[in-house]
Amino acid sequence: MAQANPLINSFNGGELSPKISARSDITKYHSGCRTLENMIPLVEGGAMRMPGNYFVVETKTSSKASKLVPFHFSTIQAYILEFGENYIRVYKDEGQVLDAGNPVEITTTYAEEHLFELKFTQSADILYIFHPEYPPKTLTRTSHTNWTLDDFVAGISDAMVITGITKADPAVVTCANIPATFCECVAGGIFCAQWDCTVYIKGVVGMTEVNNRYFKVDNVVTGAGGTFELVDEDSTGYNAYVSGGTAQECLFGLNDENPSCGTFFEQRLAAAGTNNNPQTIHLSHVSDYDNFAIDTDDDSAGIEYTIASNRVDRTRWLFGQDYLMIGTVGGIFKMGASSAEDPITQTNVVCKKQISAGVKNIEPQKVADALLWVTRSGRSVKQIVYSFETDKYIAPDMTRVSKHIAMGATLATSGIVDMDIQSEPLPILWAVRADGQLIGMTYEVQEEIYAWFRIVTDGSFESVAVISDENEEDQIWVIVNRTIGGSTKRYVEYFKPMEFFSQIKDCFFVHSGLTWDGGDAEDIEGITNADPAVVTITGHSFENGDKIRIKDVEGMTEVNQGLDSAYTVANKAANTLELSGINSSGWGTYTSGGTAQKVKKDVTGLDHLEGESVSVLMDGAVHPDVTVDSGEVSLTYYGNLIHIGLNFTSIIEPSKIHVDSGSGSTRGKKKKIGEILLDFYETCSAKVGYDTDNLKPIPFGIGEDPELFTGSKSLEFYGDWGEDAEVSIVQDVPLPMTVLALVAEVEISG
């Protein structure tokens, strides 16, 4: 009977595909896991429990999907935007932005079916929005409550002053002067050679029906008092033209002439991917983002470039870095000047295909010097990195050993549908899978770590977005589709920070949860022997009707309370309060010390979890699960800091333990784990077993005052003989768990 003691001291290979479960010869096998669910692989090697998420509000229209979009105005002003059908709502500082008690809302025309195809790029307080079915827009932030959605007019000529518009079919517009170059017409001609010439009209007084609209133009007469027709525009029933208004020739705005994506590159705004010209890239003038005119100023003028390819491949996304990276359904191109040191100009443009794999219609994310993107199938994530050996960009597969990670049970439920990146405290790529699982990849370029894991909840994730703030962890926001009381509810939620600074009471490990916080304890300065007892606390914040717990009083020890009782505040004054119904006349005399702290046993405001069984962490201790009734739960004892929400389970299952030695592999031989040693960091509860149906609790000695444990736990392992030596480590109560390593004592037969 042979024996081995293999050490597993890293889980940052992530959750591996079952297809490589026999590949113990590759390095990532030994740091990988069969299951990594609701656990985050750390760069250092261990795996920590993913924090829970906090409920913010139900989306405006729960019956329809919506998408979250980050908006970063500065390092200290970040917003989350909820794009739903025909609206945008705003979130900041972990809540919904309200104006006079109502949600701030911007009206749009975006249909539900197009929300996840929208593309965005931002400059300061302006967000540019692109989709091939809609004219491009800008969303401008003026203040927390003041947002404006406008048409983005990509002008290719100066605006012309309108002097008249006929009430006719078609309407005829007269301008003070129409230049000979308008719509590429010959001076004095009567027909525009460019049939799809587009103008944007605004500022008209009287015939306001034509304002803020795009029109196709025909029958142009140039010069002073020149005219043009608005194709298919019958203005007979419109108000009469009075005065004013401008018309400007522009690139976009009409059907099939709207870009699907945009980005900033070398101080230009780039846009591409119209239905009519899916491979044409347009770049604005330098530092003049709404000017796309192509003129003789080569250094700063607008640029128009069509990718030469043996097939027509729609442009899905653009990303500006050292070069303009162009993601198409047929591959990725690099566009820029002939030399990286030179700026791109009309006469200095080079565009070459770098990668032949097509991209999905999801914007890429940048991490360090790499660009992470989703392949056309939606089931692989690759990165773009420059290879000095080949002198071109290459695309290593980040899902190479985890091909299952983007796969659902069916084709329809497979693939990534939304994605964003987190930088602090860990670099993590977050992505939503079509079946509603949230998947993540811890990604550290310098240490070549790319480790996938899955986040599972009671419901399905539909969108993810990340925002950052000064001196804070990046915040991950999600929309979750949950079934509550038999009805579909879509909730906006955000994940709590990973760091809880060694305070068990502050850790948050429930989903769609809320916190009731009674605040800090206040120091007692005196208590009278009277009926009722009067407590002196200078400048206290308690209100009449509050429940308070008093403890650590010396002298009048009778006033001290346990967890199951509390006093009711009455007749509060600035520095005193009465303990309602409490006669302390016969008690000991107050000597010194003691604190009073607001507590609660009946917690309200849980309407969003009506009828659900919820888990509770109260002052760092686990309370038995309770059911929400009429938006309320009644707890067994009083607490000061109470976290309540849906329970979730965290599971870490390392790769099957195979021992190779000089005499060969133990694969196929019977094995049994007799003892196991687990290294934990700041953990106070966990279970272990040979599978998730056969678990034994690990003794941590938790009680009313649990303590975080860092160190090793050695215990007998109740496994049977079998060909595979497997370990499951589980946390299923709302407490933290971080596993750093394990050593298994493996007996091997034969």
Model confidence pLDDT, tens digit, residues 390-423: 788 889 999 999 999 999 999 999 999 999 999 9
CB contact burial 231-252 (16+ within 10 A = b; e otherwise): bebebeebeebeeebbbbbbbb
Q: What is the pLDDT of residue 488?
A: 95
Report the distance separating Cα 297 and Cα 295, nearest Å.
Answer: 6
Which residue range forms the structural domain that includes residue 638? 515-647
- Assigned domain for 718 exists: yes
Considering the domain architecture, whether residues 519 and 643 belong to the same structural domain is answered as yes
- Assess contact for 453 and 439: CB atoms under 8 A: yes
Considering the domain architecture, whether residues 563 and 525 belong to the same structural domain is answered as yes
Q: How many CA atoms are closer than 13 Å to the CA of 139, on its beta-carbon side? A: 29
Q: What is the pLDDT of residue 471?
A: 87
Domain boundary among the residues 608, 629, 647 is at 647
Dihedral sign for Cα atoms in the order 183, 186, 187, 190:
negative
Considering the domain architecture, whether residues 521 and 638 belong to the same structural domain is answered as yes
Considering the domain architecture, whether residues 638 and 523 belong to the same structural domain is answered as yes
Considering the domain architecture, whether residues 579 and 593 belong to the same structural domain is answered as yes
pLDDT tens-digit readout, 26-60: 888 889 999 999 999 999 999 999 999 999 999 99
Considering the domain architecture, whether residues 630 and 680 belong to the same structural domain is answered as no
- Assigned domain for 490 exists: no
Q: Which residue has the tokens 């006093």?
A: 567
- Assess contact for 3 and 747: CB atoms under 8 A: yes
Q: Give the number of other CB atoms < 10 A from CB of residue 412.
A: 9
- Assess contact for 540 and 615: CB atoms under 8 A: no
- Assigned domain for 204 exists: yes
Considering the domain architecture, whether residues 224 and 239 belong to the same structural domain is answered as yes
- Assess contact for 156 and 302: CB atoms under 8 A: yes
Considering the domain architecture, whether residues 674 and 592 belong to the same structural domain is answered as no
- Assigned domain for 14 exists: yes
Edge-to-edge strand ranges of the sheet holding 487-495: 460-467, 475-484, 487-495, 53-58, 511-517, 641-646, 613-618, 621-627
- Assigned domain for 102 exists: no
Q: What is the pLDDT of residue 186?
A: 40
Q: Which amino acid is at 381?
A: V
Dihedral sign for Cα atoms in the order 74, 76, 79, 80:
positive
Considering the domain architecture, whether residues 668 and 735 belong to the same structural domain is answered as yes
Q: What residues are paired with 480 via a beta bridge?
A: 461, 491
Domain boundary among the residues 204, 228, 250 is at 250
Q: What is the pLDDT of residue 391?
A: 80
- Assess contact for 7 and 743: CB atoms under 8 A: yes
- CATH code (residue 164): 2.40.30.180
Nearest of 158, 127, 153 to residue 264 by alpha carbon: 127
Domain boundary among the residues 602, 621, 647 is at 647
Q: What is the pLDDT of residue 273?
A: 96
Q: What is the pLDDT of residue 187?
A: 38
State the total domains in the chain.
3
Nearest of 38, 139, 25, 39 to residue 79 by alpha carbon: 139
Nearest of 345, 271, 331 to residue 120 by alpha carbon: 271
Length of the chain, in residues? 750
41 preceded by cis ω (within 30°)? no
Contacts of residue 578, defined as CB under 8 A and 6 or more positions apart, other chains included, come to: 532, 533, 534, 535, 569, 570, 571, 572
Q: What is the pLDDT of residue 192?
A: 41
Considering the domain architecture, whether residues 641 and 520 belong to the same structural domain is answered as yes
Q: Quick one: 314 exposed, middle or buried, by C-beta within 10 A (0-12, 13-18, 19+)? A: buried
Considering the domain architecture, whether residues 533 and 620 belong to the same structural domain is answered as yes
- Assigned domain for 94 exists: no
Give CA angle at 253 (247, 254), nearest 5°: 105
Low pLDDT (below 50) residues in the chain: 186-195
Considering the domain architecture, whether residues 589 and 609 belong to the same structural domain is answered as yes
- Assigned domain for 175 exists: yes
- Assess contact for 670 and 750: CB atoms under 8 A: yes
- Assigned domain for 111 exists: no
- CATH code (residue 733): 2.60.120
